[in-house]
Structure 1
Amino acid sequence: MKKFELEYVLQASTKVVFDRLSSASGLSEWFADDVNQKGNIYKFLWDGAEQEAELLTKKDNRLIRFHWLDSEDEESFFEFKIEIDALTNDLSLIITDFADEDEIDESIELWDSQISELKHVLGI
């Protein structure tokens, strides 16, 4: 598994973006068809398939990190980090994820598609 980072600039408020990244209802608007949460476990549903992730870290309006429960790599995670540029005040969403070397391009395309949906939901 190889770690990679992607950065997307979003014209939206930190709180609005963070809510879409951290709540089951927010994630179900753009990330999955449906999301259910029980404690620190989030269940993501896509076209009848489901995958569970454990919430590892949450820092309000800054960072949220999950670990897929079915991942063989205990060190892997996917993370959403919000950074605000001190000069321009632009909000950057930084996504950290892991994929096998031969699946990184496909993973990047998937994230691009997901973030496009997030922008649509945010009206930007």
Structure 2
Amino acid sequence: MSTKIKYEMEFPIQASPSLLYQYISTPSGLSEWYADNVNSRGEIFTFIWEGSEEQAKLVSKKSGERIKLRWLEDEEEGDPYFFELRIQVDEITKDVSLMITDFAEDEDEVNEGKMLWENMISDLKHVLGSV
């Protein structure tokens, strides 16, 4: 079993939590910004990017709040790693943020992962019209 580095990111997003949840939890929503195409069958989500394909298993989700997925290769190796997209609403200001939790092999990959998430969240903001 490999040891990965956990990292977390927060992105303020100007959208209602219910709308944002559609974009982080459904294949049609995810295919707007996360991958070129996304399909799901039961708990298995298939993500397609320019000819490559990765599958992830739905670990848990809470309607309107969060979704947690584990890549099947980690699942098969018994690794506990996952990625989670969680909506956080500030109780006072009502500002909405998307919290990302992910894992990487090393520090270089953490930086790459963060850049990738920043690009994808930028795409998500464009789709939501909250730029």
Say whether the fold is shared (TM-score over 0.5).
yes
Could you list the structure 1 runs, at least 4 aligned residues long, displaced by more than 6 angstroms after superposition: none
- Given candidates 32, 35, 38, the residue that maps to 2:35 is 32
- Given candidates 71, 74, 94, the residue that maps to 2:99 is 94
Q: How many residues are matched? A: 124
1:70 aligned counterpart, secondary structure:
helix
Shift of 1:75: 0.7
Q: Which residue of 1 aligns with 2:56?
A: 53
| Unpaired runs of at least 5, structure 1 | none
State the alpha-carbon separation in 1 of the partners of residues 70 and 20 from structure 2. 20
Q: Which residue of 2 aligns with 1:69?
A: 72
Q: Deviations over 1:56-107 (max 9, x none)?
A: 0110011100000012462100001111001110001100000012310000
State the alpha-carbon separation in 2 of the partners of residues 74 and 8 from structure 1. 27
2:126 aligned counterpart, secondary structure:
helix
Q: Which residue of 2 aligns with 1:20?
A: 23
Shift of 1:23: 0.3
Change over 3 Å in CA distance of 1:99–1:73 after alignment to 2: farther
- Given candidates 1, 4, 24, the residue that maps to 2:7 is 4
Query: Root-mean-square deviation (CA), in Å?
Result: 0.9
State the alpha-carbon separation in 2 of the partners of residues 43 and 36 from structure 1. 5
Shift of 1:50: 0.2
Change over 3 Å in CA distance of 1:4–1:73 after alignment to 2: farther
Matched, 1:116 2:122: yes
Shift of 1:25: 0.3
Shift of 1:9: 0.5
1:52 aligned counterpart, secondary structure:
strand
Matched, 1:85 2:87: no
| Unpaired runs of at least 5, structure 2 | none
Shift of 1:32: 0.2
Q: Determine what percentage of the aligned residue pairs are the same residue.
A: 47
When the two structures are superposed, what TM-score results if normalisation uses the length of structure 1? 0.97
